[in-house]
Structure 1
Amino acid sequence: MTMIEKAPPRLSLAALRGMLGRCPSCGEGKLLQGYLKVVPSCPSCGEAYGHLRADDMPPWLTVFIVAHIVIPPMLYLEQVYQPNVWLQSIGWSVASLALTLAILPRCKGVVLALMWSLKSEGSEREETP
């Protein structure tokens, strides 16, 4: 009898699992331990993740998403109600910080899951001629 290997999940399913903080392979084990530390391997299926390096992509993606969420209402409120500058500074800073802290681990999970799906390690280097 031949042993049939389980096919890896589709890219979108792996990304969804990563966003939820789960193993992109089995969907059961945790991908991150603590806030942003990558687990060495999945406790459920044993898939290794310690070699993946997401580097700057999760923070960049987080800033991109938070800016698109915060800036439109900020501009709208400025045009319509013209609140005090100190009130806006405090309010939008707190909103931006809260969104960043909530979104960053999800972005890291998505990036790690996509790297795993595409069999990338994050340590690839371009060859110089």
Structure 2
Amino acid sequence: MTDTSTTSYAAERPTKPAIMNGLRCRCPNCGQGKLFDHYLHVADTCSQCGEDLSHHRADDGPAYLVILLVAHIIGFAIHFMWVAWRPDPWVMATVLSLGAVGLSLALLPPMKGMIVGIQWARRMHGFGLNS
């Protein structure tokens, strides 16, 4: 009988560096190549190390994380603005709406990169088939 406790994985994939590389929108394997070839489109392969990145399945995870973060930041900003300056409601609505949209657009790529990095490190969705 074969020992099922040993795996055929060539090397360990530490999760923390993969997450950090993903947050920087870099390849989770080498940390050098760009993870995205467009705003949110993950490159099929890394331009530096050739790692196949087409297996990712980030789906709605990054959007949920962004909603969680932006809602907390905007909630704090609402309280701070009201206590400190008492602006007109339309001013608050305009400023905070623009802030929410800007924050959301800025946070989406790093959150998607983080999810792809976690999937790569944990060998999820086909990332562990050939290595």
Do Structure 1 and Structure 2 share a fold, with TM-score over 0.5? yes
Q: Superposed, which structure 2 residues align to 1:46-125 within 5 Å?
A: 46-121=50-125
**Residue of structure 1 aligned with 2:30, choices 19, 26, 42:** 26
Once residues 11 and 86 of structure 1 are traced to their aligned partners in structure 2, the CA distance between those partners, rounded to angstroms, is 44
Cα 1:34–1:25 shift into 2, 3 Å: same
Q: Measure how far apart 1:82 and its partner are.
A: 2.2
Instruction: Give the aligned length.
Output: 118
Q: Measure how far apart 1:9 and its partner are.
A: 4.3
Q: Which runs of 5 or more residues in structure 1 are unaligned?
A: 123-129
User: Which stretches of structure 1, 4 residues or longer, exceed 3 Å deviation after superposition?
Assistant: 5-9
Q: Percent identity, please.
A: 35
Q: Measure how far apart 1:81 and its partner are.
A: 2.9
Aligned equivalent of 1:38: 42
Once residues 100 and 73 of structure 1 are traced to their aligned partners in structure 2, the CA distance between those partners, rounded to angstroms, is 15
Q: Is the 8 A contact 1:29 1:44 kept in 2?
A: yes
Q: Is the 8 A contact 1:8 1:25 kept in 2?
A: no
Q: Measure how far apart 1:6 and its partner are.
A: 7.1
Q: Measure how far apart 1:64 and its partner are.
A: 0.7
Once residues 41 and 82 of structure 1 are traced to their aligned partners in structure 2, the CA distance between those partners, rounded to angstroms, is 51
Q: Is the 8 A contact 1:70 1:96 kept in 2?
A: yes
Q: Which runs of 5 or more residues in structure 2 are unaligned?
A: 1-8, 127-131
Q: Measure how far apart 1:89 and its partner are.
A: 0.7
Q: Is the 8 A contact 2:30 2:49 kept in 1?
A: yes
